Structure 1
Amino acid sequence: MLEGHTAVITGAAQGIGLAIARTFAEHGANIVIGDLDRAKAEEAAASLPTPAVGLHCDVTSEADVAGLLSAAVDSFGSLDVMVNNAGITRDATMRTMTEQQFDDVVQVHLRGCWNGTRLAANIMRTSGGGSIINLSSISGKVGFIGQTNYSAAKAGVVGLSKAAAKEVAHLGVRVNVVQPGLIRTAMTEAMPAKVWDQKLSEVPMQRAGEPEEVASVALFYASKLSSYMTGTVAEVTGGRYM
């Protein structure tokens, strides 16, 4: 489905990002992985079945993101898919959250997504188009206690993506959003059992999702199967908060 295409994925040394990279590679794409941890990015790239490179990238830095995208074009000749996946959490109640904790989360999720979206679109608009996929979260739809920073940033990703989609649609650049719910990753499995069980009880399908189930939706958005879709939000939540 992605034979001959080049995809850049941020925060893809592990978790959902790595699952997306692996799924894209299995469908023929060349992959560029950007991550704060360069060693892990290189290791992840080496594990893929198609040509791939792993590079350091701080998504809050315009220069880093621009360098990541340039590496894709220099290495493989094109930029066809951009996945803005990198993220962090700094959970705390409003009463105890510091300005730094708020700013850090907004910078990584929202500014990072803006950097990736606008810089990728600038390349794609001159090359005939492409697909940009931004990772939000069910937290951006509902809002969770202790996540005023994260919920604000993830809701912002949706608004950013819709506005960007309107700006570049006529140039053949599509911008869509994937909004995962409770997905089984190292981060979520580190939750206290009581918290995990409470969140799981909210899922009508009565199970957590797997990273590959998010990756398959990203593949749909990356491929021609979604050629007439832009500005949309796909909830991958098992029916949570319908």
Structure 2
Amino acid sequence: MIEIILPPTVVAVDTTDDPADAGLHPEEEEVVRKAVDKRRREFTTGRTCARRALGLLGLPPAPIPQGARGEPVWPEGVVGSITHCAGYRGAVLGRTSNVAAIGIDAEPNERLPDGVLDAVTSEGERRAIIEALRSHPGVHWDRMLFCAKETVYKVWFPLAGRWLGFEDAEVTINPLTGAFEARLLVEGPSVNGGALTRLTGRWLVKNGLILTAIVLPAG
């Protein structure tokens, strides 16, 4: 499903259930050794999607351990992103020769819990969300904004190696074109010969889900 909003330079595998035959490598097993069943199933299916995506790149299956911030650690020459929520798990991968970074996120198309919107948005972003809810009420734009900011962080962290707060990126969503843009409010890493200041992505609402994706080209 997420491939609808992706460029041809990457590959995607996603699913709406947890395959009974999905398994983990020992390095991955250690991550969820003490996890509750829900977390274990999400993690296992996400890694299974990622390994299938490696196959689409023509690469052998490999363990995908977890880094210090919970980020996937990819095989050499590969970048990617994994996401999961209720009813959805997905992975998007690309080769470093084509792609500098990838971020994806999935959320239910539902209103954010009370208090979350104020915690993750600026006053200007909230005004835009109110207007979008008024003009296009079929989408929970507050959740969309949260999803987009999670996607921005997933692109940022592998490149910068440091935290990016919700308040450190201002996101503008276009309800008509299926696109969004993030303006970084802190100094970004050097990418493709210049400082990273903006990211552009795409969004999709389908089957009760909100999906967002950013694919930053290399070179």
TM-score w.r.t. the length of structure 2 is 0.33
- Greater helix content: 1
TM-score w.r.t. the length of structure 1 is 0.31
